[in-house]
Amino acid sequence: MKYIIIFSLSLITTFFSAQNKRFTYEYQFIPDSTNIADVKSEMMILDTSPSQSKFYSYTVYHSDSIMRVDLEKQLATTGMMNVRSDMRKGLVRYSISKDYPDYKVFLHNQILGDQYKVSDDRKINWKIKSEKQKIGEWNTQKAETEFGGRKWIAWFASEIPIQDGPYKFHGLPGLIVKIEDVTKSHVFNLQAVNTIDNIPSDIFGEKQIKVNQKQYEKLLKDFENDPTKGRRQMQMGGVTMIMKDGTANQMKEQEERIKAGFKKDNNRIELIKI
């Protein structure tokens, strides 16, 4: 019996490691700590291959793909592009990649018209607990950690031998099936597991500016202090569009709206800026 169990585990390991897998998570989060009744939800994808993983919003990726096709048609027929407010769907605009086997972590995010690739070399120190729980069809075990200014509780499944999970989380002896911070402001729940042929290659954009954590933190701070700077020019699909000049009052109103949005987005997944 012992040899049968070992052989079965070997087959499971080979099955998961040799194929591209897609793990679909439901992500529930509270953007505004002063309005905890307003819980947002978004479907997130963790695509894994033998060499890397990509974590991104399913909604954002598909809406951006549709928008890109629409804008290309506009450009071809009229020579102009009109970005409508209803084109962009989804709330989670950032994405995460991890390079195997060292699990090098990168945040991919856009500030104005520039796409940035930010390396994150912080180590996640896990404390594995003895508690076990059945979550869906998976037998899981509890683990705890502190990361990004929050305390997290995770449940991982050793029967899925992929040391990965949603967002930047990784390093447990099995896939993270569920993880939440202790305030339940951010909760990820595994919903489905599928085999895929290929991981999408166009998630992060063609041109990315590589920066370190301190550089990215300064970029974010500058953007929050002056969000309308450079907004007249944006880059989409390799075409530079120059926005029409607005009046001083219009620009001021736009800046106030953006800053008001920042105030309502005060409960981010990382309380400590990277």
* DSSP string computed for 198-226: ---S-SS-S--EEE-HHHHHHHHHHHHHS
pTM of the model: 0.79
* Rounded-to-integer distance, Cα 240 and Cα 250, Å: 22
pLDDT by residue for the chain (274 residues), tens digit each?
Answer: 444 444 444 444 444 556 899 999 999 999 999 999 999 999 999 999 999 999 999 999 876 554 454 444 544 456 544 544 444 568 999 999 999 999 999 999 998 878 999 999 999 999 999 999 999 999 999 999 999 999 999 999 999 999 999 999 999 999 999 999 999 999 999 999 999 999 988 888 778 999 988 898 888 888 888 877 655 444 444 444 444 555 556 666 666 676 666 778 899 999 865 4
Contact in structure between 119 and 130 (CB atoms under 8 Å): no
Structure tokens at 1: 């019996």
Q: Which residue has the tokens 């071809």?
A: 76
